[in-house]
Amino acid sequence: MSRKYKFRNPEAIYFVTFTTVNWIDVFTRREYKDILVDSLNYCIKNKGLVVYAWVIMSNHVHLVIERRSIALEDIMRDLKKHTSRAIIKAIAENPQESRKAWMLWLFERAGKKNANNTKYQFWQQHNQPIELTTVAFAIDASIDYIHNNPVKAGFVNRPEDYPYSSALDFAGEKGLVDIEPC
């Protein structure tokens, strides 16, 4: 892993992106997004993750995060490990999943290319953390980017109309993930 993809400053706020292998559009089904939402909330409650903004797109996730206790690389490792197993299991057991064989084949193929895996690889290895300065415009620009992702993708007309994002919280309503105010 390149040094530019590491959490170097343990006290910093980071913009993080992580992506499914082969950019597979897994998060088109609510049940897979809900696994990720539940896992984020678990990490917030039990691992000291602080989330300021988030969005789940069809094949990737953006977060603005920092930590209270456990190192961010450890939280991200655990989050990705848990969600990959849970989502692959959900795909395999979902009788409605028409793409099941194709997705599992791609995850298995990616897993065989990585010695760290026993069978499947769901997430790409890196998180692409970008340290944000405490300058408000850097954090605000990252949050605006996150919230406008579903609009740019054509999912919704307004950021706050997309439920799998913190834009709802920023519009004054309670969203799905327990974010911290900036």
Least trusted range by pLDDT, from 13-22, 47-56, 107-116: 107-116
Q: How many residues does the chain have?
A: 182
What is the pLDDT, as a whole number, of residue 134? 59
pLDDT(110) > 70 = yes
What is the pLDDT, as a whole number, of residue 86? 98
What is the pLDDT, as a whole number, of residue 118? 78
Domain boundaries, the chain: 3-170
Euclidean distance between CA atoms 142 and 176, whole angstroms:
19
What are the pLDDT digits (tens) for 56-74?
A: 999 999 999 999 999 999 9
Would you tell me how many other CB atoms lie within 10 Å of the CB of residue 13?
A: 20
Least trusted range by pLDDT, from 30-34, 130-134, 163-167: 130-134
Beta strands in 43-115 (DSSP E): 49-56, 60-67
What are the pLDDT digits (tens) for 31-48?
A: 999 999 999 999 999 999
CB 91 within 8 A of CB 32: yes
Say whether 50 sits in a helix, a strand or coil.
Answer: strand
**Looking at the domain that runs over 3-170, which CATH code has it been given?**
3.30.70.1290
Q: Measured between alpha carbons, how far is residue 116 from residues 22, 66, 103, 121, 133 in Å?
A: 17, 26, 20, 9, 33
As given in the structure block, the two tokens for residue 151 are: 């609009």
Least trusted range by pLDDT, from 40-49, 123-132, 140-149: 123-132
pLDDT band at 136 (very low <50, low <70, confident <90, very high): low
Euclidean distance between CA atoms 62 and 56, whole angstroms:
7
As given in the structure block, the two tokens for residue 28 are: 């088109």
